[in-house]
Amino acid sequence: MYVFAYIQELPLVRYRAAKTLDGSAVATFRDLVPTKLAAAVWNSLEKYKSTIPNFPQTGTCELLILDRSIDQIAPVIHEWTYDAMCHDLLDMDGNKYVHEIPSKTGGEPEKKEVLLEDHDPVWLELRHVHIADASERLHDKMTNFVSKNKAAQLHQRDSNELSTRDLQNQALPQYSEQMEKLSLHVEIAGKINRTIREMGLRDLGQLEQDLVFGDVGAKEVINFLRTKQDATSENKLRLLMIYASVYPEKFEGDKGLKLTQLARLSPEDMKVVNNMRLLEGSSATKKKSSGGFSLKFDGQKVKNLSRFYPMIEELIEKLNKGELPKNEYLCMNEPSPPVPRSTDGASARTSQAPASQPVKSRRTATWARSRVPDDGCSSDSVLKNVSVDFKNMGQRIFVFIIGGATRSELRVCHKLTAKLRREVVLGSSSIDDPPQFITKLKMLSEKGISLDGIRI
């Protein structure tokens, strides 16, 4: 909450309303969490309006408050970007990665901790790129490095291959820092690709995507569980979690028991699948599944391991266009109809910034000064004058997800910032990789949840 006081912005506070099938149904506390948080936020904003000098009195940005029930697939489906693969498949502590570097004394390799963050230009370029594309780019970068580094050329092996360790030792001084970063990512990408092969993730990833889009069903899931007995318990659990999200009726009563027995999941793992229903809300708020993912996906999207996109992408697009269903997403401070623009193109802020002619923003974004992709999957498209462009962007969009956000949702916000020309800022009670999300579900109980962990 303090961020709005600090930047002196007054958001239009929108939130996902508790749903009931009829007026007689009573919403549970869990259903009302976004409503309660929105009310608490608005109460604080009302105080800011009266106590902070020059604080805006009308809406200058937008805040959308959601909960994890909007999309239970995004936290567990395999996301194939470099960033997500690093955090999903490698033993990382937050953004900290430990790797080995050649010893300066010629002894055993030394372990070194590095942070995969914005100060690393290679990480910035590749983090939202598909792992296959990232691997190709790293190969090209390494080849280019060897061609420009005379020391590497002189010591290149007869097989025309040179290890990253050799290159680190032989690199000319002016290339040492560049080589260190490059060799780090070559090592990481190599580990990821080996893990993908060893765990058979391509087949699993394809099944996950097809399941979400309704292209396959129970037959294919059962066949996978029967023929892929060596799949890890976590991967089988994640597959069943996706299946349960797409076809919840398949897990009603004892229907899911045979599947879990076939997957050889422990009772603790089965608790995770059952607890997913707690995130959906009370029985009165659930919708009957018609098979396939409920989102209306763009039929033009390429069918590959990256065709899934998180629910918030569609919600933010609709918010930008003013098309969020008002009966599903209420506003604490609904603005009056905007005043028509004058013919001379005055740049007064309005309650809704049109996507085509965004109202000038108060600020310049800091995180997006480097490479920002147009499609979220490639870094080839660079905003050359991004610092200038962001000064002329429209109103900010803040999205807060109660219950944890995912790296795919972070990627979507980066992508939409460039596409909509409005800075999209994602906030949450936590950023969860699949293992963390699964652990949370194991701890979930029917007693309800509170806002104690969220500081207003």
pLDDT of residue 53: 93
Is 97 in contact with 116 (CB distance < 8 Å)?
A: yes
Q: Assess whether pLDDT exceeds 70 at residue 371.
A: no
Q: What is the mean pLDDT of the chain?
A: 78
In the DSSP assignment, the letter for residue 252 is S
Which among 127-141, 177-191, 373-387 has the top mean pLDDT? 127-141
Q: Assess whether pLDDT exceeds 50 at residue 174.
A: yes
Residue 91's CB is within 10 A of a number of other CB atoms, namely 7
pTM as predicted: 0.78
CATH of 2-71+311-443, one of 1.10.510.10, 3.40.50.1910, 3.40.50.720, 2.170.270.10: 3.40.50.1910
Tell me the CA distances in angstroms from 342 to 335, 336, 345, 357, 361, one per residue in order: 19, 18, 6, 13, 19
User: Encoding tokens for residue 317?
Assistant: 């697009």
Give the tens place of pLDDT for each residue, 262-283.
999 998 898 898 888 767 644 3
Q: Who wins on pLDDT, 447 or 355? A: 447
Q: Assess whether pLDDT exceeds 70 at residue 211.
A: yes
Question: Which residues have C-beta within 8 Å of that of residue 421, sequence separation ≥ 6?
Answer: 355, 358, 389, 393, 394
Handedness of CA 114, 185, 151, 176 (dihedral sign): negative
**Residues forming CATH 3.90.830.10 domain(s) in the chain:** 82-199
Phi-psi region of 391 (alpha: psi -120 to 50; beta: other; left: phi over 0): alpha
In the DSSP assignment, the letter for residue 401 is E
Q: Which CATH superfamily is domain 82-199 in?
A: Sec1/Munc18 (SM) protein, domain 3a (3.90.830.10)
Q: Assess whether pLDDT exceeds 60 at residue 57.
A: yes
Q: Which of 5, 4, 9 minimizes the C-alpha distance to 361?
A: 9
Q: Which of 41, 37, 18, 15 minimizes the C-alpha distance to 28?
A: 18
Q: Which of 161-165, 216-220, 379-383 has the lowest mean pLDDT?
A: 379-383
Give the tens place of pLDDT for each residue, 176-209.
777 888 989 999 999 999 999 999 999 999 999 9
Question: Which residues have C-beta within 8 Å of that of residue 108, sequence separation ≥ 6?
Answer: none
**Residues forming CATH 3.40.50.1910 domain(s) in the chain:** 2-71+311-443
